């Protein structure tokens, strides 16, 4: 019996399921299949990664997404791969004991732990609009992120303020990067909420290669945010044919035609939604008949309102195939 088999047996994990998970992570990360053994080795030999999860101006949607991890499940993720030392929603400790867990982790693993931030950080009036045990979100983030090896902003609110920062933004809500521009390393996983598959893949990449994956100009991992949803969408063929849904429930809607006319922001949105899917890989918003709202793009709430208005008018020839429309109606990449 090899070392990998021994580790899996000790953890009560089926080897086939484990390798399927490693293969799924490699595929999500857009790595060649030859990296599966390396990922498997890293996950069975690496020291558990200490994590601190801060939750600020948010709806807890990203935590809910995290709880719905299925490959691996949340218990396997917590017990076998990472050490989630602080998370106010999930931890057993409360009050002063919870605070002790946080600061003990920071002291013990200074420069080694990963800080995950969920939710926007209010800055108006000294940041009083979000406090935890009497301490503002801004001061907590400065103290905790400042000593972390790296910070991962999970969800649109943590990345750029999200809905909390939508005009007129009375609390002065901003994302982690704007609140603390001097952070040495910041990875952004926008989405409303962020998909736990991409968070898991980012952590797997870190455990395997001891660095984060390549990032775009917004700090987003390219493996997850490197392609337009429009170019991966199963309804793209209907867009090219000029077949659009005109009203909810009409014939086009029933036949699965393109949702561009109903406000779908897929032509301007970068994300791997169509491939990683949601709800344990069963479906995604466009797949069940609702247009993309563009939640992974910066300032999506202000940029894409109204959510149900088409991005631009394609003119009187809108029902013609895209190849005959002179390029009109195509999104910006």
Same-domain pairing of 55 and 77: yes
Residue where a domain terminates, one of 188, 206, 225: 225
Which residue range is the domain that position 243 belongs to? 227-333
Residues of the chain by 3-state class (helix, strand, coil), percent to 5: 45, 15, 45
Q: Write down which residue in 187, 209, 225 finishes a domain.
A: 225
- Per-residue pLDDT 10s for the chain (333 aa) are 445 455 555 555 667 778 888 888 898 898 999 999 988 888 877 788 899 999 999 999 999 999 988 767 776 776 677 898 999 888 877 778 888 889 999 999 999 999 999 999 999 999 999 999 899 999 999 999 999 999 999 999 999 999 999 999 999 999 999 999 989 899 999 999 999 999 999 999 999 999 999 999 999 999 999 999 999 999 999 999 999 999 999 999 999 999 999 999 999 999 999 999 998 889 999 999 999 999 999 999 888 778 898 887 443 334 434 443 333 333 332
DSSP letters spanning 77-128: IIIIIEEEEEETTT-S--HHHHHHHHHHHHHHTTTTSEEEEESBEE-GGGGT
Are 115 and 209 within one domain? Answer: yes
How many domains would you assign to the chain? 3
Q: Which of 206, 225, 244 is the last residue of a domain?
A: 225
Say which CATH number the domain at 263 has.
4.10.480.10
Same domain, 207 and 251: no
């Amino acid at each position: 019996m090899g070392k990998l088999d021994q580790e899996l047996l000790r953890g009560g994990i089926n080897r086939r399921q484990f390798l399927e998970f490693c293969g799924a992570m490699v595929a999500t990360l857009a790595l060649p299949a030859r990296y599966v053994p390396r990922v498997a080795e890293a996950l069975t030999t690496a020291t558990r990664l200490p994590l601190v999860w801060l939750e600020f101006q948010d709806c807890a949607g990203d935590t809910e997404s995290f709880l719905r991890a299925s490959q691996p499940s949340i218990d396997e993720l917590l017990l076998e791969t990472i050490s989630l030392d602080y998370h106010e929603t999930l931890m057993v400790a409360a009050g002063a004991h919870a605070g002790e867990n946080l600061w003990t982790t920071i002291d013990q693993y200074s420069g080694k732990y990963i800080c995950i931030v969920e939710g926007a950080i209010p800055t108006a009036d000294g940041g009083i609009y979000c406090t935890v045990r009497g301490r503002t979100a801004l001061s907590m983030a400065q103290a905790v992120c400042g000593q972390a090896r790296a910070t991962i902003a999970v969800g649109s609110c943590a990345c750029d303020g999200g809905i909390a920062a939508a005009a007129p933004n009375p609390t002065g809500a901003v994302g982690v990067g704007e609140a603390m521009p001097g952070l040495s390393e910041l990875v952004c996983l926008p989405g409303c909420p962020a998909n736990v598959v991409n968070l898991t893949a980012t952590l797997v990449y870190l455990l395997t290669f001891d660095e984060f994956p390549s990032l775009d100009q917004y700090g987003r991992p390219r493996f997850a945010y490197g392609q337009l949803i429009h170019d991966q969408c199963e309804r793209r063929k209907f867009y090219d044919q000029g077949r659009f849904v005109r009203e909810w429930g009409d014939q086009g809607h029933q036949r699965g035609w393109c949702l561009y006319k109903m406000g779908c922001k897929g032509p301007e949105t970068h994300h791997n939604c169509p491939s990683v899917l949601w709800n344990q890989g069963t479906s995604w918003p466009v797949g069940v008949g609702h247009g993309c709202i563009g939640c992974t793009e910066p300032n999506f709430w202000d940029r894409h309102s109204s959510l149900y208005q088409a991005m631009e008018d394609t003119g009187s020839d809108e029902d013609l195939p895209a190849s005959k429309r002179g390029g009109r109606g195509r999104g910006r990449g």
